[in-house]
Structure 1
Amino acid sequence: MTTPWGEPALARFPEDPRDRLRAWDASDEYLLSHLADRQVPLSGTVVAVGDRWGALVTALAAYRPTQITDSWLGQEATRANLARNGVEPGTVRLLTTQDPPPGRIDVLLVRVPKSLALLEDQLLRLAPAVHEGTVVVGTGMVKEIHTSTLGLFERILGPTRTSLAERKARLILCTPDPALRRPANPWPYRYTLPDGIGPVSGRTVVNHAGVFCADRLDIGTRFFLGHLPAPGGGRVVDLGCGNGVVGTATALADPRAEVLFVDESFQAVASAEATYRENDVPGHAEFRVGDGLTGVPDGSVDLVLNNPPFHSHQATTDATARRMFAGARRTLRPGGELWVIGNRHLGYHVTLRRLFGNSEVVASDPKFVVLRAVRR
């Protein structure tokens, strides 16, 4: 990536030679050029929110910035990119969206997230640290910035305008208004599940901002809940757990099961744990933020339940699903099973047959399919 501060070498995490997606885009370069062209003072507290793979804080490492991210993979990419470019550990402060934010912010850089809810939550959390002299610059590709995006900046921080587009990227320029009366933060959000979906019928879901389907049960999960395997005890993993509804349903149906909730999103794992605790579920559960099943011992799991994502920010990719399936094969005991819910068009059965040597359709409808693969 070419910046006014040099050309840092950047990569996504984990590195995959088959993945040709870059660790930055034109919006990162546009924001960095803007800071240099306008000679924005960077001697105070610089905070970068949503810096997806660490491009911004790596370029600005000399100013000891703070990064705030919801992504464990993004945070690990940042660590790797900083090391790759010779930045000493501790130079850049790495926080999650669940951590207390800095008490004062002099320069706030916002990489617009896909989720408007996550943007709302983070701006409301950071607003008390913003003062009249804070420089606030948001960035994103044109297709990511909408009237509703600008409305959040305006409503929470102060008067907002956009730049001209460059290479399909745009900047959001906001002038903080300390006298602005901000709304209360509506996150996390709670709702009651409908009847007719098994053990979690009528139960409460707790969703932190940015987690998929924050205010309702999505139709894919609803279909999966109607076709979960019979209780069998043992070690169960809700892989890519989101708000934890699937793992909570499993634990309610089978108090003997030990359920591990895993997601790479800090917001998701916080939601899963809150959902589980809210419903006084019996049995034992563990909650872990990380890259799928990395760190789970080989042959230690009886059942993996998985609804893999097929987007990485704005890009469509099956890289995450492939890693999840491979991790499941490694960690399952012989005879252990991977159950997957996915859109029919994604063709997960092909990948499962390649990895496991088998794939069975458990249930399907015009949109979704539930697949079962057995570790031989």
Structure 2
Amino acid sequence: MKTKLALHQRTLTLHRHPKRNNETLQAWDAGDEYLINHMEELDIAPGKHILILNDSFGALSCWFALNHQVTLMSDSHIAHQATQQNLADNQSNNITLCSTLANVPAHVDYVLMQIPRNNRYLTWQLNQLRLSLGKAVPVIAVNKAKEIHSSTLKLFEKYLGSTHTSLAWKKHRLVFSTPDAPNAIAVDPITKWKVEPHKFELKNLPNVYSGEKLDQGARFMLEHLPNGLTTERVIDLGCGNGVLSVKLGLDNPDISITCVDESYMATASAKENLLDALGSDRQIESITNNCLDGFQIDSAELVLCNPPFHQQQAITDHIAWQMFCDAKHVLCNDGKLLVIGNRHLGYDVKLSKLFGKPKVKLIASNKKFVILQATK
């Protein structure tokens, strides 16, 4: 696995976050290289304010921090952590880091964007740029060529302005856009929908996973959450919009709930949904974090987990493994980890290796999903 990005007589050392032994995935891709090459060909004067959106692990931020003022906006806590570490490793200049919940900064000269997979999130980001940027500010976005559809370009044109594309290079394409759309179209950041038949409503910020409808895994998990809990401390790990926590809190009024996700929009949505459903007098907390970093041992009796099986655009199982390891660390003796996953992912093998096979049992299954319980 390469850790050296060498371009234009410069070399950066870049790592994904968290660092892993025998890492097989790079901390940058050809899209990052394409953006860097394009900007270097422009030969812009030093000291420009470059706004970078959705930098996965800080490659773009580290590159442009050498000669420019850089602001990185990302919804990913892990992207923030990776960027800070890579800046330090390369003795790079400091940059401004903020979540995409913040306002677009003033006096931007260029915008560089990794196009997100979520079109609702893309639409919202384009709208924020249109409302905040001067009409002369270039917006240069990148993605794999196969992911840039005519519908993607129509979103740029509708919500931002004049748009055209580059030729493909290493299977990636640049999108050039200008914030000159005649009328800024209002975009509500919140999507609301009811969870039937459970009779509560969820609010979803633009980058929340499955933010437009209930995903099948969560729907199945809702049918098998425990009742009759007393004062248990519960952690909802990878909480998304908090749907599992809301249901568990409604059915078990004396538990305390901590929602954890690496998405700032997810934890903000989960907090709002818990407050709406359970009220402000309940013991609830919502934390943006990398899994359970910094959580104390013996700090929970129950952990709920619906693990992702990708990081950014890469399919990987290391996040699920870290979640399982962290859950075991924070659980008290006889504490339980309740996991849902696609049948083909083989979580029973991982959990048996970690907790011991006699401590893992099947709670429920259907054609697509299994729900497993592991006891510490």
Q: Is the 8 A contact 1:190 1:206 kept in 2?
A: yes
| SS across alignment from 2:56 | coil
Match of 1:327 in 2: 326
**Is residue 2 from structure 1 mapped to residue 6 from structure 2 by the alignment?**
yes
Q: Distance in 1 between matches of 2:46 and 2:124?
A: 25
Q: Distance in 2 between matches of 1:231 and 1:131?
A: 57
Name which of 215, 233, 238 aligns with 2:212.
215
Q: CA deviation at 1:42?
A: 5.4
Match of 2:60 in 1: 56
Q: CA deviation at 1:126?
A: 2.3
Deviations 1:290-325 (A, max 9, x none): 011111101111000000000112211101000000
| SS across alignment from 2:134 | strand
Q: Is the 8 A contact 1:236 1:303 kept in 2?
A: yes
Q: Distance in 2 between matches of 1:352 and 1:18?
A: 21
Match of 1:32 in 2: 36
Amino acid at match of 2:239: C
Q: Is the 8 A contact 1:11 1:22 kept in 2?
A: yes
Q: Distance in 1 between matches of 2:23 and 2:228?
A: 38
Q: Distance in 2 between matches of 1:138 and 1:344?
A: 36
Kindly tell me: are residues 144 and 169 of structure 1, through their superposed partners in 2, closer, same or farther at Cα, counting changes over 3 Å?
Answer: same
Kindly tell me: are residues 26 and 296 of structure 1, through their superposed partners in 2, closer, same or farther at Cα, counting changes over 3 Å?
Answer: same
The aligned runs of 1:252-291 (5 Å cut-off) are: 252-281=250-279, 283-291=282-290
Amino acid at match of 1:307: N
* Displacement over 6 Å in runs of 4+: none
Q: Distance in 1 between matches of 2:9 and 2:44?
A: 13
TM-score by length of 1: 0.95
Q: CA deviation at 1:176?
A: 2.8
Q: Distance in 1 between matches of 2:296 and 2:203?
A: 30
**Is residue 190 from structure 1 mapped to residue 192 from structure 2 by the alignment?**
yes
Q: CA deviation at 1:20?
A: 0.9
Give the unaligned 5+ runs of structure 2.
none
Match of 1:175 in 2: 178
Q: Distance in 2 between matches of 1:308 and 1:351?
A: 13
**Is residue 165 from structure 1 mapped to residue 174 from structure 2 by the alignment?**
no
Q: Is the 8 A contact 2:129 2:179 kept in 1?
A: no
| SS across alignment from 2:217 | helix
Amino acid at match of 1:99: A
Match of 1:361 in 2: 362
Amino acid at match of 1:313: Q
Q: Is the 8 A contact 1:2 1:29 kept in 2?
A: no
| SS across alignment from 2:140 | strand
Match of 1:198 in 2: none
The aligned runs of 1:16-31 (5 Å cut-off) are: 16-31=20-35
Q: CA deviation at 1:5?
A: 6.7
TM-score by length of 2: 0.95
**Is residue 14 from structure 1 mapped to residue 18 from structure 2 by the alignment?**
yes
Deviations 1:109-163 (A, max 9, x none): 1111111111111121222221122121001112332222211211122111111
Match of 1:139 in 2: 142
| SS across alignment from 1:2 | strand
Kindly tell me: are residues 176 and 300 of structure 1, through their superposed partners in 2, closer, same or farther at Cα, counting changes over 3 Å?
Answer: closer
Match of 1:317 in 2: 316
Deviates most, 120-129 or 104-113: 120-129
| SS across alignment from 2:136 | strand
Q: CA deviation at 1:364?
A: 0.1
Name which of 61, 76, 80 aligns with 1:75.
80
Q: Is the 8 A contact 1:45 1:104 kept in 2?
A: yes
Amino acid at match of 2:302: L
Amino acid at match of 1:26: A
Deviates most, 346-355 or 91-100: 91-100
Match of 1:87 in 2: 92
Q: CA deviation at 1:55?
A: 0.6
The aligned runs of 1:121-132 (5 Å cut-off) are: 121-132=124-135
Name which of 223, 233, 236 aligns with 1:235.
233
